[in-house]
Structure 1
């Protein structure tokens, strides 16, 4: 099995392959359907659940191999309090109660509030939900999907998809996060030894 068989293809072709994988793997498609019904503002399922599923399919591993959780982002700047986000998280726990994989819900409009304390640097408020992907520590991780009401998949991948299909973990130095990037890369290589991880 050639796990790199889709590397280097045009973006549109890789997008179509990604969509086919997502529609055929319940580990990611079911959370997308549930999230669509939950209908948070500017929502997307992002990062690991997407690229990990691709790596599992292309290496012939079980679809849920190495997947710890489902990251569900949304963007609502109408109330930036923790209480407002916590209410959404608690509603989400009920909505996703049947999920086989834990779902972590986070309001991206609040990132600038807690980021300095957690990572030691100030960041500008995000202007929309998709902008959050441009700040991920790895370009490989910067991918998000939404399932629309008409059944179409909507993709946000600011750095493209070739890093995923090439099994490459590439740093994104928009913000300093070398420790987090390195730790994630080391863990990923233990699960998918086919990967190459570019040093920070």
Structure 2
């Protein structure tokens, strides 16, 4: 299948019953500024571009939201348990981005999309959700060209310090995406 732009990606995902069901389940929590991020989207696109008929295993389904009123980590665990109760066979992970700046030792995010823009790779700096009318929405702060061109590049946020560049390089090794998707091209950062 040929994917050329954001519209093609949205059309592809809208035809995926499992993904749409996952999105509907996340939406049912009525979280403020929620998105499902990263590998949930990237893996679908890369599987498609590699011609895979079977979905590659998803290590986690990253649900994020932004609530600066209740930043207690216990609330995230409570919400994660709600998702597990609805769909117990899915690897749910939920994080409130209003508190994640502390874990990441940086300045506070202003929204979930701001947090997505600080993800390590442009091809994973993605969010997907259903709006109030169940329209599929895609947040892609760096666009979708790297994603559909199978290019793994660091976001600007991960090239501006040696420490972050090292984190990006460690992720490339740990994730070992090229073992699943052999057509991807990885850009390394010279430290």
TM-score (norm 1): 0.83
- The answer (yes or no) to whether the contact 2:65–2:96 under 8 Å persists in 1 is yes
2:139 counterpart of 1:185: no
- Structure 2 spans left out of the alignment, 5+ residues: none
1:126-173 per-position Cα deviation (integer Å, ceiling 9, x unaligned):
111111011111111111011123221111101000101000001114
The worse-fitting range, judged by mean Cα deviation, of 177-186 and 81-90 is: 177-186
Aligned to 1:81: 72
Change (3 A) 1:40 1:96: farther
Which of 66, 69, 92 aligns to 1:103? It is 92
- The answer (yes or no) to whether the contact 2:14–2:136 under 8 Å persists in 1 is no
Deviation at 1:114, TM superposition (A): 2.0
The worse-fitting range, judged by mean Cα deviation, of 160-169 and 53-62 is: 53-62
SS at match of 1:182: helix
Change (3 A) 1:113 1:35: same
Aligned to 1:157: 140
- The answer (yes or no) to whether the contact 1:32–1:45 under 8 Å persists in 2 is yes
The worse-fitting range, judged by mean Cα deviation, of 88-97 and 31-40 is: 88-97
Alignment of 1:167-182 (within 5 A): 167-175=150-158, 176-182=163-169
SS at match of 2:80: helix
Aligned to 2:111: 128
The worse-fitting range, judged by mean Cα deviation, of 105-114 and 60-69 is: 60-69
- The answer (yes or no) to whether the contact 1:38–1:95 under 8 Å persists in 2 is no
1:76-135 per-position Cα deviation (integer Å, ceiling 9, x unaligned):
1102222233322222322332x4x311111111112222xxxxxx30111111110111
SS at match of 1:42: coil
- The answer (yes or no) to whether the contact 2:152–2:185 under 8 Å persists in 1 is yes
Change (3 A) 1:37 1:148: same
Change (3 A) 1:28 1:184: farther
Change (3 A) 1:44 1:148: same
- Structure 1 spans left out of the alignment, 5+ residues: 116-121
Deviation at 1:30, TM superposition (A): 1.6
Change (3 A) 1:145 1:17: same
TM-score (norm 2): 0.87
SS at match of 2:133: coil
Aligned residues: 183
